Structure 1
């Protein structure tokens, strides 16, 4: 939906939702991918599945393409995680990957409610593994230190978009 489109990715608890909220508060067009684009499906085919799992958390590729094709805004930020990002990542003008140190991640996981992903013990262990291996996030994104206050994180992203 922008003349320039950016993806903001990262493992759970790195601040994707908080970044999106702050961008919106500052007047930027920002999409909560996990709320507006996500569903449970096969990452290769896109076919919906009846099983809710991290591995099947994907974005609607056609909707992403449609939003990117619309140029009503100067810039649009797509914030969230998707297991099928390889199907659309090439459409973005840039990709930012939020990263935090282990201590910050553990503290954020401790504060996460049980009903949010990463709030349960098994999910927490999974998120910590993903943080270590980085297997679930884009490899060529611009790394953003997301352990600093959210205002600084967003300032860094916006500065790098200019």
Structure 2
């Protein structure tokens, strides 16, 4: 979708959806990939699987490739988490990983209803492990301090990609 494409990743609760909405509000092309590209499947084969949890939350690789190949937009931000990011991370011009301390993450998750991901104890346990180990996020991304106010987080991402506001 963009001449330049960026991935915005991070564990659940770091603000990927909020960053996506703020980028859209500012007029940038941003895809909430957790809603538009995700399904439950095997991270290695892509085979769809029913009734599984976060460990099988993956993106449709062919759709990611098609969106990156379409150059209708000057820049596109892909926001969300995917357990198969290793299958397409090389397509992006840059990767940003939203990071925050455990206390801030815990406060954010405390505000989630039980029917939203991260609202149940078992999900919180997984998020805690992933936050601690960083096992589920790209190692090569640029760290962004997601404890800052949302406007500052987005400003920093845009500064890193040297973008001026859209016309």
Question: Taking structure 2 as the reference length, what is the TM-score of the superposition?
Answer: 0.96
Residues 14-56 of structure 1, C-alpha deviations (whole Å, 9 max, x = no match)? 0000000000000000000100000011111111001221111
Once residues 125 and 49 of structure 1 are traced to their aligned partners in structure 2, the CA distance between those partners, rounded to angstroms, is 22
Q: CA deviation at 1:129?
A: 1.1
Which stretch shows the higher mean deviation, 42-51 or 8-17?
A: 42-51
Once residues 116 and 133 of structure 1 are traced to their aligned partners in structure 2, the CA distance between those partners, rounded to angstroms, is 23
Which stretch shows the higher mean deviation, 43-52 or 72-81?
A: 43-52
Q: Please list, as runs of the form range in 1=range in 2, the aligned pairs for 1:1-162 lying within 5 A after superposition.
A: 1-162=1-162
Unaligned runs of 5+ in 2: 163-167
Unaligned runs of 5+ in 1: none
* RMSD of Structure 2 on Structure 1 (CA): 0.6
Once residues 2 and 77 of structure 1 are traced to their aligned partners in structure 2, the CA distance between those partners, rounded to angstroms, is 8
Once residues 86 and 110 of structure 1 are traced to their aligned partners in structure 2, the CA distance between those partners, rounded to angstroms, is 30
Equivalences, count: 162
Residues 76-104 of structure 1, C-alpha deviations (whole Å, 9 max, x = no match)? 00000000000000000000000011110
Q: CA deviation at 1:122?
A: 1.2
Question: Taking structure 1 as the reference length, what is the TM-score of the superposition?
Answer: 0.99
